[in-house]
Amino acid sequence: MDFDLFLLVCNYIGTIAFAASGAIKGFDKHLDIFGISLLAIVTAVGGGILRDSIISRFPSALFDPSSIYLAIFVAIIILLYFVGIMRQNSKIGKNKQKMEIVNVSYDPTRELYERYNGLFKAYYKEKYGKDVNIIQSHGGSGSQARSVIEGLDADVVTLALENDVALLEKVDLLEKGWIDKFPGSSSPYTSTIVFLVRKGNPQNIKDWNDLAKKGVKVITPDPKSSGGACWNFLAAWSYGREKFGNDENKIQNFVKNIYDNVTVMDSGARAATTTFVENNQGDVLIAWENEAIATVKEYPDKYQIVYPSVSILAQPTVAVVDKIAKNDGTYQISTEYLKYLYSEKAQEIIAESGYRPYDQKVLKKYGNKLDLKMKLTKIDNFGGWKKAYEKFFNEGALFDKIYEN
């Protein structure tokens, strides 16, 4: 082989390899096609352009843009692979004759949907004369959203954060306006953040400031993968606002003191509960209210709940994954599945499971199980999830600065 041709082939192979690595990273960060292409180009030819600029030479990639075109082509192929081919290869085997749907949810809802699914199957059979099979998938809310983006064949999602569901809209799996499709901004139930401590409360934990004391061992999941962990962080920040007003430096230092006491940071809320309850680690678990209620119900002689003076109204969000459900012919039943969550019977199950039902009459009926007088901030106090996520949880945002420093 001619040596010049050999160098050209090696150059193209290197360009493809670097462009692919950049495109994959862009897809992992949920960038659109333009962002993925730009990252592929920078990774493939950025080093050469920088080298040529340093030695005062006109960049060869700009003189002959074939490498740039190749990088864009690779980015498109990578995007098609992950969004298209990978979804087909990763489908949870559906049998349309059996009317099967998949609900991708977050960690602590396992028991809730075990009960609800039985109720819904009976309702659907009576109304339409058809059997339906419901497959559940559970994990950290953020991880679950990424799994759907990467190909998990979800008909519906019932996730911990509106922001996690909104990620699906960015890749056109959800139609615009999905948040208004169901009542309460598509939140059929809410919860809040409380403390689970060992019986007798040996560390005398009463409020968020006690979690910042030296020597207190805190358990909470990771906001990078867990929706509940994001609510935990914002609840702590809300207390900081109450105590320090608008002094963000003091709030940040206060929250940092809490996270300096975190001894185990699991990927999801259920894993964090396991660490605290079954592995007997930590003095206090920052937990979903429903998760804490379930634990005390199971172990009444070992654990108790402490309600802090300030917390946050946590609003898990549901949605039909429009593109997948329509493609699979399950759009009608998927819509019915989420709509029925607002029925009185379903709201009763929701309340019995320790959640705060959307139906105010049912909520009032079960008010003795919950602290309804507790001061709760809302995500709107943070400017909505888009602004909150950008400020606190994106790469390099405040959580990274607090936890890494």
Q: What is the pLDDT of residue 14?
A: 72
Which is it for the CA torsion 127, 128, 133, 136, positive or negative?
negative
Whether 267 contacts 225, CB under 8 Å: yes
Environment class of 362 (CB within 10 Å of its CB; exposed 0-12, middle 13-18, buried 19+): buried
Whether 316 contacts 191, CB under 8 Å: yes
CA–CA separation, 241 vs 239, rounded Å?
5
SS3 at position 304: strand
CA–CA separation, 181 vs 65, rounded Å?
47
Pick one of 3.90.870.10, 3.40.50.970, 3.40.50.300, 3.40.190.10 as the CATH number of 96-189+316-369: 3.40.190.10
Nearest to 102 by CA among 142, 143, 167, 151: 151
What kind of fold does domain 192-313+375-404 have according to CATH?
D-Maltodextrin-Binding Protein; domain 2 (3.40.190)
Task: Please tell me the pTM assigned to this model.
Answer: 0.72
Q: What is the pLDDT of residue 323?
A: 96
Q: What is the pLDDT of residue 339?
A: 98
Where the chain has pLDDT below 70, the residues are 1-8, 26-32, 52, 61, 63, 82-98, 405
